[in-house]
Structures are given as C-alpha cells and as structure tokens.
Amino acid sequence: MSQEYRRTKTTVSLINYHFVFCPRYRRKVLVNNVEERLKEIVEQICKENQWNIMAMEVMPDHCHLFLNCLPTDSPSDMMAKLKGVTSRKLRQEFSHLNHLRSLWTRSFFVSTDRNVSSETVKQYKEKGGE
C-alpha cells in the first residue's frame, strides 16, 4: 500500500477515496461469476483512467473500493463511469441481471482522508471487510 505522492507536469498530490456502492434494492447479485467479472471490469476501468486500486471488497449486496487518483478526477465522475460501464457489461453478459431496470442505485458513499490508504484499509481488512 503506497503513500507516495503522485506527480504530473503541474501537480503533486495524494488523493485517496473510499467508495461504497450497492445494487438496486440491495439485491444480493454480486456473487460467483458476477463478482469475479465485476472485479475484472473495475480493474480495467481503473487502469484506463490511471486510478490506482488500493483495495476492493465485493460483498453480495455492496462493494467497497479504495482508490488513489489525480486531482483532475472528481468522485462523482469516477462513480458515474464505474457504475455505467459495469452495469452495461454485466447486464450484457449475465441475462439474469436484465430484470433489473438498472444494476446500481443512484447513490454512493465516498470519503477521503490522507491516511485512508494505510490505516483505514488495514483496519477494514482486519475486520474482515465488514
């Protein structure tokens, strides 16, 4: 888990976000192959956008995601992209998800703190992702 500052031509930053987002109606659909495919898609999106995944925990009815990003990335835009792409791809690949009008709720939780990548993630993992 890195606490190193990220440098671009014009900025030096250390921005860490903790996101939590849920399927619509907290349905327990993030299991088995859906869970694995969700992780793959999230990793791909993060790589394309230069968001570093510090930790990801997928529960049947919600997902925790700890990301390090640049100051040009807004949390709302990040969630819009993650939810939009994952919803579209998962619903295309898993027909049992098509009965949902949309996969994700419109809301999400986000928190930021300079120390979120080390202490918070460590405590979160020690508690077993609860």
Write down the domain spans for the chain: 14-126
pLDDT at 99: 85
pLDDT at 12: 94
pLDDT at 116: 53
Query: Which amino acid type is present at position 113?
Result: D
Residue 81 and residue 98: Cα distance in Å, rounded?
20
Task: Supply the pTM of this predicted model.
Answer: 0.84
Residue 59 and residue 97: Cα distance in Å, rounded?
16
Residues of the chain with pLDDT under 50: 1, 117, 129-130
Topology, domain 14-126 = Alpha-Beta Plaits (3.30.70)
